[in-house]
Every structure is written in structure tokens, then in C-alpha cells.
Amino acid sequence: MKKILYLVLLCCIVFSLAACGNKEDSSIKDFESTLKLSQNKGHALKTTVDELNIEQLDELSNKETTDKNKREINQLQNDINNKLVPKMTAYEDSIKNIKASSEQAKSLKKSYRKTVEQQINALKELQTFVSLCNQSIKANEDILDYTRLFEKNRSKVEKNMDNASAAGSTTEVHILTKKLESNSRELKATAQKNVDTNNDKEAKAQIENDIMPLIESQIKDLNQTTISDSNVNAARKNTIEMYYSLQNYYETRKETITIGEKLDKIDYNKLPKNGKDLEQYEKPFEQELKEVE
């Protein structure tokens, strides 16, 4: 009797183990079938990366900025935002539909999720890099515009002062000229410190704490100066406009430093330039899946 009970118990254990094994096999099969749908999204993503021709960044970043280069980098950013980002979102969302009912399948899904996250993060880093390149180009163009505007207003000031002198307002011309010469010397000395430093943090601090307050105080002083001659008054107004363009110049200069700092933190050589570059992140998961199969 005991022998019969033992055999029955043994059979139950065997059947139970077989059932568990079948359940595990079924769970892995469900995982793999739904995994393929997500991997298809990944393949579509890689294809889009290839189509964007990101390798052109190597050439564009090493060339002098031209209108053609600007258009190409701007177009690349638009393509990333409009074509690549939707594929990235679809790829990430596809993980939700992967079935994982067993512990083994859940472990595989976790590993796969990590793979996808690494790929997406690499592409987001690329997106950030291209965006910063465009911001840098725009900021440097603005600096040139503010420089031209400064020179334009300075030319107006000189013309106003010549007209005032010709009209006989020599006293007020002398007062404003001395004030502008003093301001120029003070600005030049303060700005030179900014030029001499190679430390970005110090350069930004000097702009914020020294240059900008100085320009603001000079604008305030000019506004409070009593002037009766219309030509000299026009010279004062154009000088203030000149100082405003100088303020904008240094604000944008500070912006270019910040952009440069952000670009320095990105290792360009590690950015994905094509779909194949994303495959390096898949190896750990592929090895784990291979061990299960």
C-alpha cells in the first residue's frame, strides 16, 4: 500500500514539474512573439537614423559656417524632431505590449527595457547636440548683428556731434565727449579682463557682476545729464542705443559660453551616427535571451 502511495505521489510531482515547465515554455514563447513586434519598431528606428545622414555632422562641424551649412544643420534638427522622435516614442511605447507572465520572462523584459532606454538616451543626446549646434550658430549671428548695430549707432553719434559743433554748441559737445571718452576707457578696461580669462565660469561672472552693471550705470548717467542742444541730445540718445546693443552683445556672449559648456559635456565620438551604432546596446539582452532558448 505504501509503495502504491509513493508511486502516486511521485507521478503527481512529475506531472506538476512538467506542467510548470510547459507553463514556463509558454510564457517565453509569448514573450518572444510580442518581443518581435517591439523589435520591428527598433528596426524602423534604425532605418530612420540611417536616412537622416547624421554622418554629415562630421563635415559640417569642421567647416566654416556658411548659409548652406546653417540650412543643413537646421534641416537635420527638423528631421530629428519630425521623423526620428515619433519613431523613438513608438519604440518606447511598444515595450508595454510585451507579455511577461513568468519570472524568467519578466527578467528578460527588464533587460530588454534597459536596452531600449540606452538606445533612446543615446539618440536624445544626439538631438541635444544638434540643437545646441543650431543655438550656437544663432547666438554667434546675433553677436555679429549687435556689433554692426553698435557701429551704426556710433557713426550716428559722431555725425550728431559734428552737426552740434558746426551749430556752435561747443560746450555741450565738450561735456558729452569727455563723458563718452571716460566711459569708453572704463568699459575697455573692464571688458579686457573678460577677454583675458580662459575660465568660462569667471567670464560669465565678470559679465554679470562687472560689465553689465557698468553699462547700466553709464546709461543712467547719460539719461540724467542735462543737455539743451538738439544735436547733442540726439547724440546722447544714439549713445544710449549704442550701449543697449552692447548690453545685448554681452548677454548673448554669456549665452554662447553656456552653450559651449553644454557641448563640451557631450562626447561627439560616442553619439550614434547610424542605425548600426545602436546595436552595441543590444548585446547583453541578446546573450541573456540566448541562454534561455
Name the grid cell of 178: 569727455
pLDDT, tens digit (0-9, with 9 covering 90-100), for 73-107: 999 999 999 999 999 999 999 999 999 889 999 99
Query: Is the pLDDT reported for residue 25 higher than 70?
Result: no
> What whole-number distance in Å separates Cα of residue 235 and Cα of residue 159?
8
In this prediction, residues 228-246 reach a mean pLDDT of 96
Do the Cβ atoms of 255 and 155 come closer than 8 Å?
A: no
- Ordered DSSP codes for 38-74: HHHHHHHHHHHHHHTTTTHHHHHHTS---HHHHHHHH
pLDDT, tens digit (0-9, with 9 covering 90-100), for 131-189: 999 999 999 999 999 999 999 999 999 999 999 999 988 899 999 999 999 999 999 99
Q: Which long-range contacts (CB under 8 A, 24 or more apart) does 279-282 make?
A: 279/46, 281/115, 281/118, 281/119, 281/122, 282/115
The b/e string for 32-60 (b: 16+ C-beta within 10 A; e otherwise) is bebbeebbebbeebbebbeebebeebeeb
In this prediction, residues 218-237 reach a mean pLDDT of 94
Do the Cβ atoms of 223 and 240 come closer than 8 Å?
A: yes
Residue 166's CB: how many other CB atoms inside 10 A? Answer: 10
- pTM (two decimals): 0.84
Q: Break the chain into its structural domains and give their ranges.
A: 25-48+55-137+267-292, 141-264
> What whole-number distance in Å separates Cα of residue 93 and Cα of residue 35?
12
> What whole-number distance in Å separates Cα of residue 119 and Cα of residue 287?
17
242 exposure class (CB count in 10 Å sphere: 0-12, 13-18, 19+)? buried
